[in-house]
Copies of this chain bind each other. A is one copy, B any other.
Amino acid sequence: MGAMMIEDGKVDILNLGFLALDGVFASDLAVANAARVSFNQVSQEMTEKDVGLINFLMRERHGTPFEHGFFRFIMKAPIFVAREHHRHRIGHSYNEWSGRYSKLDSEFYIPRYVRTQVGKPGCYQYLPMSDEESRKVREEIELTAGQAFLKYDSLLELGVAKEVARLVLPLATYTKYYWSCNPRSLMHFCSLRNSLNAQYEIMEYAKAAELFFKDAMPITFEAFIKNGRVSP
């Protein structure tokens, strides 16, 4: 598996998902200026000193200067990932494909490598299962999810309301949504979801988000990493 990459403004994730940048208006300069306005000193360009300033803000967890930017993504992810994502409330905006208003596509997530879980809450470890076991589990998931989608179709054909028919669809079903955030809320998402305690699948999205973050705000990103991915 090669390294994750942005191609045409988009990162493919999992079997059918993606994170695409729909628009961005963010810069390291805006962070520096938002901090420097405290001293009534605003500038048109970054200086060497600003690198240190941004690192200082990150380390000392002065969060507000990181709010003056904007990222808008289109994200396609399995529902169980979207569920975790949408628990992020502050500085995050979402608009999602509705299973009440339109028929959901027959697309669902199947893990490439299946894992087992050992240990206790707070310190779980996730280990890959054997190829043979993985293959079997993948087939089972595909079969069960596939049957659920067939049932969904037949309920719709019977005239059942879409919002009711979806009851049978699995948590693996893909959904799609607009997601807007600012650099601070983006870092908060990444600090929690690109972490050892996060579930592998949402971690992939957090890693992709970091690629876009790094592109737009390289100095801020570096300071974020340097300070242990702790959101300010």
Contacts and interface: CB of A to CB of B under 8 A. Distances in A.
Interface of A: 22-25, 30, 33-35, 37-40, 42, 56, 60, 64-65, 67-70, 72, 74, 78-80, 82-83, 86-87, 89-90, 92-102, 105, 108-109, 111, 114-117, 121-122, 124, 126, 129, 133, 136-137, 140-141, 144-145, 147-148, 151, 154-155, 158-164, 166-173, 176-178, 180, 182, 199
A38 B158 CA distance: 23
Contacts of A74: 37, 42
A22 B32 CA distance: 14
Contact of A117 (B116, B163, B172): B163
A160 B114 contact: yes
Given A100-B199, A133-B158, A166-B171, 4 more contacts: A40-B105, A67-B180, A115-B164, A117-B163
Nearest to A199: B163
Given A92-B89, A160-B129, A161-B116, A180 B38 contact: no
A22 B144 CA distance: 38
Contacts of A161: 115-117, 126
Nearest to A170: B168
15 contacts: A22-B30, A34-B95, A37-B96, A37-B177, A37-B178, A38-B97, A65-B95, A67-B93, A68-B178, A79-B171, A83-B83, A116-B161, A148-B148, A168-B170, A168-B171
A114 B65 contact: no
B178 A33 contact: yes
A172 B168 contact: yes
